[in-house]
């Protein structure tokens, strides 16, 4: 995958290190096992799943829009006022000057 912006060298190093980790991939549906590096294991595991268990579909974690229950609550103005007054109260207790951090 091509990122929009080039990554910081530290991030690239970290990713490279994580990709190089030795791992064992296992299959949940059969006794398939594979040993190698994390980067290769990802594609190997995907290839195995597609080939050996094509009936297994990955479900979306987030339910569709039609499910009302998943909607985030919409906060009213009073709720926000409550939240901010609570925040200010706590900030005062901790001796934090909020005006100093605004701006």
Nearest residue (CB) to Zn ion, 27 versus 39: 27
**27 is an interface residue for Zn ion by CB under 5 A:** yes
| Number of CB atoms found within 10 A of residue 53's CB | 14
Residues recorded for the chain? 103
**30 is an interface residue for Zn ion by CB under 5 A:** yes
Select the residue whose beta carbon is closest to Zn ion and give its number.
27
**Closest alpha carbon to 87 in 98, 99, 76:** 98
Q: Decide: helix, strand or coil at residue 5.
A: coil
**Six-digit token string for 40:** 């290769």
**45 is an interface residue for Zn ion by CB under 5 A:** no
**34 is an interface residue for Zn ion by CB under 5 A:** no
Nearest residue (CB) to Zn ion, 22 versus 54: 54
Residue with tokens 């040993």: 35
Find the binder of Zn ion among 20, 47, 52, 75 (CB under 5 A): 52
Find the binder of Zn ion among 32, 37, 40, 44 (CB under 5 A): 32
State how far the Cα of 99 lies from the Cα of 58, in Å rounded to an integer: 48
Rule CB under 5 A: which residues touch Zn ion?
27, 29-30, 32, 52
């Amino acid at each position: 995958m091509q990122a929009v912006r080039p990554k910081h060298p530290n991030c690239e190093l970290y990713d490279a290190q994580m990709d190089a980790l030795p791992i064992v991939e296992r299959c949940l549906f059969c006794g398939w096992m594979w040993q190698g590096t994390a980067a290769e294991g990802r594609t190997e595991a995907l290839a195995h799943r597609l080939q050996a268990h094509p009936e297994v579909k990955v479900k979306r974690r987030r339910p569709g829009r039609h499910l009302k229950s998943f909607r985030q609550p919409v906060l009213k103005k009073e709720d926000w006022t409550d939240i901010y007054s609570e925040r200010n109260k706590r900030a005062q207790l901790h001796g934090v000057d909020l005006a100093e951090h605004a701006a």
